[in-house]
């Protein structure tokens, strides 16, 4: 007897849902991390309180009073109660006949200072780094570093005495060669040279210390490898020392160009006289005369704000260019 056996499929197995417990890791909040960091490194935080307070009190808080550049400032009404005039002070400054003279004098003087004071400390630092005689090296460092501690007033006084047409030894020295007396301080064409090279003499030793510290951080194995490959001293300087201090040099150059319109007021004002005003009148001295002597605080603030904005754009532009060319800058 034949028959078919019908096999029924087995029912599907029930789906077992397993509850997966998701463990979520909670990261500590920023305030928690800050408290932990403060408890762990409270000595370091204590050290930065005074510098931070200095910048807040003397740099950031006064920024709020820059609003008087857009107002007709009255000492009675105060910075916030004075009448609003918008960009009138800036327009008056741009229309002033001395505007382009001030900008030209400031830019040329600052650019001359940067170009002259940038390579000389590098040359001095590399030369000192190659000296092996300790006494001579320390003597040169002392002689070049000491002028940095001389105040600007004393430096200007020394410069005036040295270059005086009546009692200065420079005038006596050139007189030995039959050259007639020259009034260096009264001739506008000599003002920039006197300013720049007196500044180079005063700051070269200090700047060289920064580069010496950078040279000390170069791995000695690089020099040993270069010696094994037969590289001369000049080759080692060109291919080991200079690339090693390049990041430091770029940062110093960017900072120097960023302050190119903020050339020092003290030395320019002290070396200034009615005969050399054609080149010695810069934005800093103009702000002093306009704000303090003429009591036009709104105009002086407007000129100073204009100068700061130009510095900001120069800093950003040079930092961008340095980042693209060398890969080094003030920030990433």
The predicted pLDDT at position 21 comes to 46
The predicted pLDDT at position 318 comes to 81
Q: Tokens 């010696």, residue?
A: 227
Residue 25: pLDDT band with limits 50, 70, 90: low
Tokens of 42: 């409270």
CA dihedral 125, 215, 229, 224 (to 10 degrees): 120
The predicted pLDDT at position 10 comes to 54
The predicted pLDDT at position 100 comes to 92
Mean pLDDT of the chain: 84
- Which position has the higher pLDDT, 331 or 156? 156
Nearest to 183 by CA among 106, 273, 99, 96: 273
Tokens of 25: 């890791």
Give, in order, the Cα–Cα distances in Å from 232 to each of 218, 219, 243. Answer: 17, 18, 16
Mean pLDDT of 222-240: 87
The predicted pLDDT at position 22 comes to 47
The predicted pLDDT at position 326 comes to 73
Q: What is the pLDDT of residues 153-173, one digit of tens each?
A: 999 999 988 888 877 788 888
Nearest to 207 by CA among 271, 295, 119: 119
Mean pLDDT of 120-127: 92
Question: Does 131 have pLDDT greater than 50?
Answer: yes
Pairwise CA distance, residues 293 & 274, whole Å: 16
Mean pLDDT of 237-260: 84
- Which position has the higher pLDDT, 321 or 277? 277
Question: Does 189 have pLDDT greater than 80?
Answer: yes
Mean pLDDT of 188-195: 91
Give the highest mean pLDDT range of 50-54, 74-78, 183-187.
50-54
Residue 120: pLDDT band with limits 50, 70, 90: very high
Question: Does 1 have pLDDT greater than 50?
Answer: no
Cβ–Cβ < 8 Å for 195, 116: no
Question: Does 280 have pLDDT greater than 70?
Answer: yes
Question: Does 46 have pLDDT greater than 60?
Answer: yes
Mean pLDDT of 71-89: 87
Pairwise CA distance, residues 314 & 319, whole Å: 8
């Amino acid at each position: 007897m034949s028959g078919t056996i019908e096999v029924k499929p087995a029912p599907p197995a029930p789906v077992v849902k397993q509850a997966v417990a998701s463990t979520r890791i909670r990261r500590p909040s920023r305030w928690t991390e800050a408290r932990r960091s403060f408890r762990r490194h409270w000595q370091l935080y204590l050290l930065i309180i005074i510098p931070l307070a200095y910048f807040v009190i003397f740099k950031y808080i006064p920024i709020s009073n820059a609003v008087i550049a857009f107002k007709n400032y009255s000492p009675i009404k105060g910075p916030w109660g004075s009448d609003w005039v918008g960009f009138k002070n800036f327009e008056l400054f741009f229309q002033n006949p001395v505007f382009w003279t001030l900008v030209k004098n400031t830019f040329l003087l600052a650019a001359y200072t940067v170009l002259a004071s940038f390579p000389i400390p590098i040359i001095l630092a590399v030369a000192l780094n190659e000296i092996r005689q300790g006494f001579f090296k320390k003597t040169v460092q002392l002689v070049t570093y000491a002028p940095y501690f001389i105040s600007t007033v004393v430096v200007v006084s020394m410069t005036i005495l040295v270059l005086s047409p009546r009692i200065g030894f420079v005038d006596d020295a050139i007189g030995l060669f039959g050259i007639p007396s020259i009034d260096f301080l009264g001739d506008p064409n000599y003002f920039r040279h006197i300013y720049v090279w007196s500044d180079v003499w005063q700051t070269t030793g200090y700047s060289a210390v920064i580069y010496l510290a950078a040279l000390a951080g170069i791995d000695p194995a690089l020099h040993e490898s270069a010696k094994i490959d037969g590289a001369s001293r000049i080759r080692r300087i060109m291919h080991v020392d200079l690339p090693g201090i390049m990041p430091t040099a770029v940062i110093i150059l960017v900072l120097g160009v960023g302050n190119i319109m903020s050339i020092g007021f003290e030395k320019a004002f002290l070396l200034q006289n009615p005969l050399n005003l054609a080149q010695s009148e810069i934005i800093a001295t103009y702000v002093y005369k306009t704000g303090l002597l003429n009591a036009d605080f709104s105009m002086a603030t407007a000129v100073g704000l204009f100068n700061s904005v130009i510095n900001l754009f120069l800093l950003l532009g040079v930092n961008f260019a340095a980042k693209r060319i060398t890969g080094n800058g003030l920030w990433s």
